[in-house]
Every structure is written in structure tokens, then in C-alpha cells.
Structure 1
Amino acid sequence: MRKYLWGNHFWSPSYSAASCWGAPLPITKEYIENQRRPG
């Protein structure tokens, strides 16, 4: 599970999980992966 977290969050604090409700799982996964920033 930790590999999917970004700073202990699934999304950056500036994004809401509600923005993905109803989206298909592959789209949601892509959205999450695109939120990662180089650390």
C-alpha cells in the first residue's frame, strides 16, 4: 500500500478524492500516478 501513497496521502493535499468518484479504476489509477512528483 505504501507504494501508492504520496506523503501519507493518496492524493496531494491540494486535490480532493471526490474529484475521482465514479471514474473507472484504470482512470483513477492513472490520475493518482500523474500526481506524483519527483522527490
Structure 2
Amino acid sequence: MTKEECIEALSKYANIKLLITSTVWNELEKENKEIFEAYA
């Protein structure tokens, strides 16, 4: 899943606001660059 797909799925199925997921994802990317580079 891409970042956008994940954000949309969490919004649709878990009722988590887009801004919250996007903010958390961005912070995770900052803290775990190696994981997200490998994921991409």
C-alpha cells in the first residue's frame, strides 16, 4: 500500500481523520528513514 492508500483506508475503515494519519506517518518517516526507504 502506498502512503495515500493507507491514509484513505484508515479514514474509511477505522474512521481516523486524514490529517492525523498523515501527521503520524510523516513523523514515523522522520524517525525511521531506513525502514521507509526499504518499504518504498
Q: How would you bin the TM-score normalised by the shorter chain?
A: 0.3 to 0.5
Normalised TM-score (structure 2): 0.37
- Bigger relative contact order, structure 1 or 2 (CA pairs below 8 A, ≥6 apart): 1
**Which structure has more helix as a fraction of its residues?**
2
